[in-house]
Amino acid sequence: MKKWKSGYGLLACVTILLIVYALADNYIIDPGAESFLSHKTGLKRELNLPVWLNVMYVHVAFACVAMAAGLLNFSNRIFAKSRKFHRMNGYVYVASVLLVVLTSGYMAPHATGGKITSMGFNALNLIWPFITVMALVQIKKRRITRHRNWMIRSYAFCFTNLSIHLLTALFHQGFGFVYADSYTIGVYGSIALLLIIPEIVIRASGQLKES
């Protein structure tokens, strides 16, 4: 229990910082995404910038909603006080994930790194909703522990953008790879990490017992 509480506190701090940064960066500091778009070279599909930006705004907004909703639903205190809120907030999370995936699907063909990177994003857009739906199925069957385990797996994908950019920076600035290649490695590396890390968390938090 103590491990879970300390872990939740750290998760809350990281999540809040990421939400604030994402909103500030995308809506205030660089609303035209000029820094990000500067790395998109050699695109085979024409980028309709006004539409792309609007889709990105929706994408970022609901990614932040998913992060916040998921964080709240991992709170044992909130769950104990209001299971109705937990349930409704869970549906907000699921809806937000689906909207993030849909908007990501629109942007995937224009991904930095070309077709191979687009394929990586398409894989993410299949894996995340599948895992999220599995969490929903488990709670419908009243399998509480399985539901929480699948939610841990699902919530990990809320940190896809952070993971991609950290890996991209590592390979681009640390190892001197070309940015586009580093970004592609970041995408596929993130898929692997975000599938592995939740399993470690589940075991470390003692959530293995099925109910």
> Each residue of 17-69: pLDDT tens digit?
999 999 999 999 999 999 888 888 666 677 899 999 999 999 999 999 999 99
**For the chain, domain boundaries:** 2-32+45-204
Q: Which tens digit of pLDDT belongs to each residue from 107-165?
A: 999 999 999 999 999 999 999 999 999 999 999 999 999 999 999 999 999 999 999 99
Using CB atoms within 10 A of its CB, is residue 69 exposed (0-12), middle (13-18) or buried (19+)? buried
d(CA 112, CA 132): 26
What is the pTM (predicted TM-score) of this model? 0.92
With vertex at residue 144, the alpha carbon angle to CA 141 and CA 148, rounded to the nearest 5 degrees, is: 115
DSSP class of 59: H
Within 74-143, residue ranges assigned H as helices are 76-81, 83-107, 115-140
75 alpha carbon, distance to own chain's centre: 19
H or E stretch covering 17: helix 2-24
74, 5 contact by CB (below 8 A): no
- How many angstroms separate the CA atoms of 152 and 132, rounded? 9
Phi-psi region of 172 (alpha: psi -120 to 50; beta: other; left: phi over 0): alpha
Which single residue is written with the structure tokens 């908007």?
103
